[in-house]
Amino acid sequence: MKTPIYSIFILLATLMITGCSDYVEIDPVGNTRVLKYTADYRSLVNNQSNFQNSGGIYLISSTEIQFPETYQDIVSPIWANAYTWKDAIYNESQSDADWNNLYKAIYYSNVVIDGVMGSERGDASEKQEILAEAYVHRAFAYLQLVNTYAPQFDPQGTNTAKAVPLLTTPSLYTELDRTSVAEVYELILSDLQKSLDNSIQVNAEFNTLPTKAAAYAILARTYLYMGNYDLALDNSLEALDLEGSLIDLNAFSSGYDYPPLFENPEILLSKTLLFSYHNAPLSEDLIMSFEDDDLRYDYYTIDGANVYPSFTGRAFGISNYNFNTGVNVGPSVPEMHLIAAEAYARSGDLENALKYLNDLREKRYQSGSAYELSSSSPEEVMDYVITERSKELIGRGFSWFDQRRLNLDSEYQQTFTRIFKGETYVLEPNSDGYVFPIFQNYIDLNPELGK
């Protein structure tokens, strides 16, 4: 059934008129508008609002979030459904903002990929650079989608389970058949390799623009989720060779000194959690994992009394220090350290695994404190990695993706339970609760989505 795509995840007026007319030079053609010059496409990819919002409902489902009993009475039905791993998140009067924003980014990426090389008044190198950026944006959006709405990639499996529609052209009318998990990952890897083949820029004026380091970093994350630790390591090191700066938290006197999102040297590509997921209560176990000398407690978390709605406990702090600071879910230098550490640990190279953990911890612990980890046990070093990931990547939902992939390993499988308004909810390893349902309204418009 060829239902207009914009009726599902794009509002045509927003995309083709409001979005474009403010930022690009356009020629009207009938009831649509077209891009003509290379500068038009550069303006399109420079507009962060087209690509920035990258979902986040999974944060509420993750183990890093814990609703205090009094908080449970004031949360929205969407948060309540996600928190209890329900098989329906939205009612018919709502919409899935995660899906909408990610497919919006894909739509704009497809517009650029389809047209920039044929645009006027631009040289080949400029066009290739813009093309490369669009490939990175599309790859990132699909990586978010496949890890939200599809089963976990299994390195020992065929990965033929249905995932999400794979849209690679800017057509507003197309079939929305769901492709397999394997096919989505194939496109992600292909897009990222194409970005590198098309001379993606090494340095960018703003971290909202994809760079070579960002492409390698997303490849590292992708291979980590695929369980290919050798390639995850290779790409994380490539990214760190290009951009390896770590912030020293000892240099700050308060959280308000922490750099805003777009000025943060650790962020390789800025992608943000939707604003509606900010300030969720963090779990007590996660908060208790911070040692006394770990400065991340003071900078990464904030008293729940200082957010809205208030609660007793701690919330993610960074996004509250500056109106221009969102919650970054894009690739970062700390994430690359953690991927390298995990890959080394899994290969048995404990010395390098500990090196990358301790290099990060040195910048996170109070000067003069005993921050260094040591161990000759592969299992203990892996435990260190998992703990450091939960603390360093706090408040972003990464733990949800870690839960999904670690469930494939019997040593790390866990069953999670939650009590919400007096009822107990259970999330078994590899259960359907780890796959967010496609919104029923979208299936009603396009029955092939439900197949």
pTM: 0.93
Paired tokens of 387: 């703990």
pLDDT tens for 365-408 read 999 999 999 999 999 999 999 999 999 999 999 999 999 999 99
Assess whether pLDDT exceeds 60 at residue 2: no
Distance CA 268, CA 216 (A): 10
Give the up-direction half-sphere exposure of residue 208: CA atoms within 13 A in the CB hemisphere: 20
By the 8 A CB rule, do 16 and 33 touch?
yes
**Is 253 among the domain residues?**
yes
Of 362, 368, 361, 367, which Cα lies nearest the Cα of 392? 361
By residue range, what is the domain housing residue 358? Answer: 234-268+279-325+330-395
Assess whether pLDDT exceeds 50 at residue 223: yes
Of 125, 138, 124, 144, which Cα lies nearest the Cα of 170? 138
Assess whether pLDDT exceeds 90 at residue 229: yes
Q: Give Cβ neighbours of residue 31 (< 8 Å, ≥ 6 apart).
A: none
Residue 322, pLDDT score: 74
**Is 423 among the domain residues?**
no
Residue 451, pLDDT score: 74
Assess whether pLDDT exceeds 50 at residue 204: yes
Domains of the chain: total? 1
**Is 116 among the domain residues?**
no
**Is 346 among the domain residues?**
yes
**Is 274 among the domain residues?**
no
Which CATH number do you get for residue 307? Answer: 1.25.40.900
Share of the chain above pLDDT 70, in %: 92
Residue 17, pLDDT score: 31
**Is 356 among the domain residues?**
yes
**Is 350 among the domain residues?**
yes
DSSP designation for 33: E
**Is 194 among the domain residues?**
no
Share of the chain above pLDDT 90, in %: 86
